[in-house]
C-alpha cells in the first residue's frame, strides 16, 4: 500500500489526472480502471475518477507495483565512469542528460543507461512513490547541469548515502559562470525558498508565500572577475531544488544560460552563445565506512570555450 498526502499546489486537480502525472508509465485508462475497482482510496473511501483533490487528502494506492512496469534500457548512452567499487559508482554526468524518467522523457535518461549496464540496480531504492524510477539515485543534478554524481549499487550503501546527504555530511562544490560584477569576493546567501504556486520553479520566500518555506544557504567565492562576468566556486549548505540558480539570480548575478531564473532585459552577445546554464558540479567529498572519498571532475569544454571568448573581448 502506497500513500500520498496532497499538497496545496495539487488541490483542485482531478484525481485521475493527478495520478496520471505521478504514475506516467500507466495509461490514463488503466488509472481510471483502478479508481473504479477501488484500488485508489481517499481518506479510506472509494471515489470517482472526477474527484477533486483537497489539500491534506490522504490517497491510498493498492497494486500500483513497479513490477508491472519495466523501465526501458538504453545502451546507446555513454556513462563517463570515474570510480567504481562493490558499493557505488561515481560518474561525470554530461549537460543535457536527464537523471531519471519522467512523463515527457522515458528512454533517454541516466537511469535507462545505468540499468542497461547494471541491471542489478533495479531494486536499489526506498519505498517512496515512484522510487523505482530512481534506482541507485541518492541525489540529482538538473538536466542541464553537468558534473560529478554518486550512485549506490546496493541498498545498504543507498541508505548510508541518503543519510549523509540528509545530514549535510557530503560537501558539494560547483563552478558557475554568472553575469555581472560581484559585489564581494566571497559571501553566504541565506534566503529561504518555496515552490511557485504552479510547482514549476523555486522562489525566494516572502511573508505572503503560500507554499512550504524551506531554509536555504549557499556560499560562494569569486575565482575570477571579468569585465561583465565572473567565475565562481559555489558550495550549497542545503540541498534545495534549483537552490544555486535561484540564490545567484536573487543577488543580481544570474547564471549564464539559465532560461528560468537568469532572464534579463538585454543579454550580452557572448551570453547568447551559451547552450545551457553554465553550472557544473565539480567535486564531492564524504566519508563512508571509515574511508574518505574526494571526487573531482574537470571543467567542461563549454565552460572553457565561454571563458576564452570573454577573455578575448576584454
DSSP helix/strand/coil, 131: helix
Mean pLDDT of 267-284: 88
Range in 4-13, 70-79, 289-298 with the lowest mean pLDDT: 4-13
Residues 6+ apart with CB under 8 A from 154: 86, 87, 124
Q: What percent of the chain has pLDDT over 70?
A: 94
pLDDT tens for 46-68 read 999 999 999 899 999 887 765 44
Is 94 buried (19+), middle (13-18) or exposed (0-12) by CB count in 10 A?
A: middle
Mean pLDDT of the chain: 90
Catalytic residue, chosen from 142, 144, 258, 302, is 142
- Contacts from 295-299 at CB under 8 Å and sequence distance 24+? 295/82, 295/83, 295/90, 295/148, 295/150, 296/148, 297/82, 297/92, 297/147, 297/148, 299/175
Q: What percent of the chain has pLDDT over 90?
A: 67
pLDDT of residue 264: 63
Q: Does residue 22 surpass a pLDDT of 70?
A: yes
Q: Does residue 10 surpass a pLDDT of 90?
A: no
Q: Are 114 and 133 in contact (CB under 8 A)?
A: no
Mean pLDDT of 218-245: 96
Give the span between the Cα atoms of 22 and 103, in whole angstroms: 8
Range in 130-134, 219-223, 240-244 with the lowest mean pLDDT: 130-134
Between 8 and 142, the more confident residue is: 142
pLDDT of residue 68: 45
pLDDT tens for 135-188 read 999 999 999 999 999 999 999 999 999 999 999 999 999 999 999 999 999 999
Active site residue 142: yes
- Could you tell me which of 88, 203, 200 has the C-alpha nearest to residue 149? 88
pLDDT of residue 236: 97
Is 66 buried (19+), middle (13-18) or exposed (0-12) by CB count in 10 A?
A: middle
Q: Does residue 101 surpass a pLDDT of 60?
A: yes
pLDDT tens for 107-125 read 999 999 999 999 999 889 9
Q: Does residue 26 surpass a pLDDT of 90?
A: no
pLDDT of residue 105: 82
pLDDT of residue 225: 96
pLDDT of residue 265: 56
Give the span between the Cα atoms of 281 and 275, in whole angstroms: 17
Between 64 and 78, the more confident residue is: 78
pLDDT of residue 30: 84
Q: Does residue 273 surpass a pLDDT of 90?
A: no
Q: How many CB atoms lie within 10 A of CB 232?
A: 24
Per-residue confidence at 20, pLDDT binned at 50, 70, 90?
confident
Give the span between the Cα atoms of 170 and 287, in whole angstroms: 8
Domains along the chain with CATH numbers: 2-68 (3.10.290.10), 81-166 (3.30.2350.10), 171-312 (3.30.2350.10)
Amino acid at each position: 500500500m502506497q500513500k500520498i498526502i496532497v499538497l496545496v499546489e495539487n488541490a483542485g486537480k482531478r484525481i485521475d489526472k493527478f495520478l496520471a502525472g505521478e504514475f506516467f508509465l500507466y495509461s490514463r485508462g488503466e488509472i481510471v480502471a483502478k479508481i473504479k475497482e477501488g484500488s485508489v482510496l481517499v481518506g479510506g473511501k472509494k471515489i470517482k475518477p472526477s474527484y477533486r483533490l483537497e489539500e491534506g487528502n490522504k490517497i491510498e494506492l493498492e497494486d500500483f507495483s513497479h513490477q508491472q512496469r519495466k523501465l526501458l534500457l538504453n545502451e546507446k548512452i555513454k556513462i563517463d565512469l570515474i570510480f567504481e567499487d562493490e558499493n557505488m559508482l561515481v560518474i561525470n554526468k554530461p549537460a543535457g542528460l536527464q537523471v531519471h524518467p519522467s512523463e515527457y522523457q522515458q528512454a533517454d535518461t541516466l537511469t535507462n543507461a545505468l540499468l542497461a549496464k547494471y541491471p542489478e540496480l533495479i531494486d536499489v531504492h526506498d519505498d517512496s512513490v515512484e522510487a523505482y524510477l530512481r534506482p541507485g539515485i541518492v541525489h540529482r543534478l538538473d538536466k542541464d547541469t553537468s558534473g560529478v554524481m554518486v550512485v549506490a549499487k546496493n541498498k545498504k550503501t543507498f541508505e548510508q548515502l541518503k543519510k549523509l546527504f540528509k545530514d549535510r555530511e557530503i560537501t558539494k562544490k560547483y563552478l558557475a559562470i554568472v553575469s555581472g560584477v560581484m559585489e564581494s569576493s566571497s559571501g553566504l546567501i541565506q534566503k529561504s525558498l518555496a515552490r511557485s504556486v504552479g510547482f514549476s520553479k523555486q522562489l525566494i520566500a516572502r511573508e505572503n508565500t503560500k507554499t512550504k518555506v524551506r531554509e536555504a544557504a549557499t556560499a560562494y567565492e569569486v575565482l575570477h572577475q571579468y569585465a561583465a562576468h565572473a567565475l565562481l566556486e559555489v558550495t550549497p549548505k542545503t540541498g534545495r531544488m534549483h537552490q544555486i540558480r535561484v540564490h545567484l539570480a536573487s543577488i543580481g548575478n544570474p547564471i549564464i544560460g539559465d532560461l528560468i531564473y537568469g532572464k534579463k532585459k538585454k543579454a550580452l552577445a557572448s551570453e547568447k552563445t551559451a547552450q545551457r546554464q553554465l553550472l557544473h558540479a565539480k567535486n564531492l567529498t564524504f566519508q563512508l565506512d571509515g574511508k574518505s572519498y574526494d571526487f573531482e571532475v574537470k571543467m567542461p569544454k563549454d565552460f572553457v570555450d565561454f571563458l576564452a571568448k570573454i577573455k578575448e573581448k576584454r
